[in-house]
Amino acid sequence: MSQTSNSSDAVSGLDDLYPSRQQSEPTLLERRDPVIHSGGGDPPPSITPQQVEDYARNGFVVLHDVFTAAEVAALQEELERLRTAPHIRVLPEAFSEPDNDELRSLFRVHELSAVFGGLAGDPRLSNIARYILNDEVYIHQSRVNLKPACRGKGFYWHSDFETWHVEDGMPRMRALSMSIALTENTVYNGSLMLMPGSHRTYVACVGETPEENYKQSLKNQSIGVPDDGSLKELHDRFGIAVPTGPPGTVTIFDCNTMHGSASNISPLPRSNVFFVYNAISNRAGEPFCDREPRPEFIGARRRIVPIPH
The structure's pTM equals 0.91
Residue 2 counted as domain residue: no
Residue 205 counted as domain residue: yes
Residue 74 counted as domain residue: yes
Residue 301 counted as domain residue: no
pLDDT digits (tens, 9 = 90+) for 274-299: 999 999 999 999 999 888 898 999 99
pLDDT at 222 over 70: no
Q: How far is CA 284 from the centre of its chain?
A: 15
Confidence of residue 14 (pLDDT cuts 50, 70, 90): low
pLDDT at 6 over 60: no
Residue 1 counted as domain residue: no
Residue 11 counted as domain residue: yes
pLDDT at 224 over 70: yes
pLDDT at 259: 96
Residue 299 counted as domain residue: no
pLDDT digits (tens, 9 = 90+) for 168-189: 999 999 999 999 999 999 999 9
Strands (DSSP E) contained in the chain are: 27-30, 60-63, 94-96, 103-107, 137-147, 155-158, 175-181, 192-194, 201-204, 250-254, 259-261, 270-279
Residue 118 counted as domain residue: yes
Domain that holds residue 228: 7-282
State the average pLDDT for the chain.
90
Q: What is the DSSP letter of 128?
A: H
CATH of the domain at 253: 2.60.120.620
Domain count for the chain: 1
pLDDT digits (tens, 9 = 90+) for 108-122: 999 999 999 999 999
Confidence of residue 5 (pLDDT cuts 50, 70, 90): very low
pLDDT at 44: 96
